Amino acid sequence: MKFPSDARYSREHEWARFDGDDVIVGITPYAADELGDVVYVELPAVGLHVEVMDEFGTVESVKAVSPLYAPVAGDIIGVNEALDGAPELVNSSPMGDGWLIRVRPDDHATAVEDLLDAEAYDAFVDELLA
């Protein structure tokens, strides 16, 4: 699989992409495909502070309920309200309109440095699918 190079990726299949001072977070197209049709996304309250790997919500598909893990540390300053009525956005546009949360990172400079770049995540997923 090929993933956009303007984002970084976690081994838990979340992506993180800078948007000015903030980081936008969602699940990767691979994760969305593996989950199957998403029927509900449970998102956190705005204002919550998360550390890397903290569980910040769940995504429920017709197959299973899966936890969402924060790929970056910081304050959650926004959530994608559109998912409330249209969780299918996670399937149709996982790295666009199906984004999950907006985070103000604790440290902008190092926020995503431990995450995989697109090439490394490509290889990681290829290994999973091999």
Partner 1 sequence: MASEPLIFELASPGRPGVRPPLPQFDAVDPAAVLPEGQIRGALDLPEVSEIDVMRHFVRLSQRNHSIDTAIYPLGSCTMKYNPKINEVTARLPGLLEPHPYQPESSVQGLLALIHDLEAVLAELAGFATVTTQPAAGSQGEMVGLFCIQAWLRSRGERRTTVLVPDSAHGTNPATATMTGMRVEPLGTGPDGNIDLAELDAKLDDDVAALMLTLPTTLGLFEQRILDVTRRVHAAGGQVYGDGANMNAMLGRVRPGDLGIDVMHLNLHKTFTTPHGGGGPGAGALGVQAHLAPFLPGPRFVKTDAGYALEPAGPDSIGRVHSHVGNVGNLIRAYTYIRSLGRDGMREVADDAVLHANYLRARLAPHFDIPYDRICMHEVVLAGTRQRRLGVRTTDIAKRLIDYGVHPPTVYFPLIVDEALMIEPTETESIESLDQFAEALINVADEAKAAPDLLHAAPTTAPVRRLDEVTANRSPDVNWTPAD
Part in contact with partner 1 (CB under 8 A); list of ranges 5-13, 21-29, 60-68, 73-81: 60-68
Rg of the chain (C-alpha set): 14
Whose Cβ is closer to partner 1: residue 6's or residue 88's? 88
Strand partners, 49: 75
Strand partners, 78: 102
Whose Cβ is closer to partner 1: residue 88's or residue 117's? 88
Three-class DSSP category at 84: helix
Candidate residues 12, 17, 39, 124; the one interacting with partner 1 per rule CB under 8 A? 39
Judge whether 57 and 44 are in contact, CB under 8 Å. yes
Q: Is 63 a binder of partner 1 (CB under 8 A)?
A: yes
Q: What CA–CA distance (Å, rounded) separates 88 from 82?
A: 10
Candidate residues 62, 81, 109, 127; the one interacting with partner 1 per rule CB under 8 A? 62
Q: Is 87 a binder of partner 1 (CB under 8 A)?
A: yes
Minimum CB separation of residue 101 from partner 1 in Å reads: 21
Q: What is the dihedral of CA 65, 69, 74, 79, to 10 degrees?
A: -30
Q: Is 40 a binder of partner 1 (CB under 8 A)?
A: yes
Candidate residues 6, 19, 37, 119; the one interacting with partner 1 per rule CB under 8 A? 37
Minimum CB separation of residue 27 from partner 1 in Å reads: 16
CA distances from 127 to 80, 112, 120, 123, 130 (A): 31, 22, 11, 6, 5
Q: What residues line the site for partner 1 (CB under 8 A)? A: 36-40, 62-64, 87-88, 129
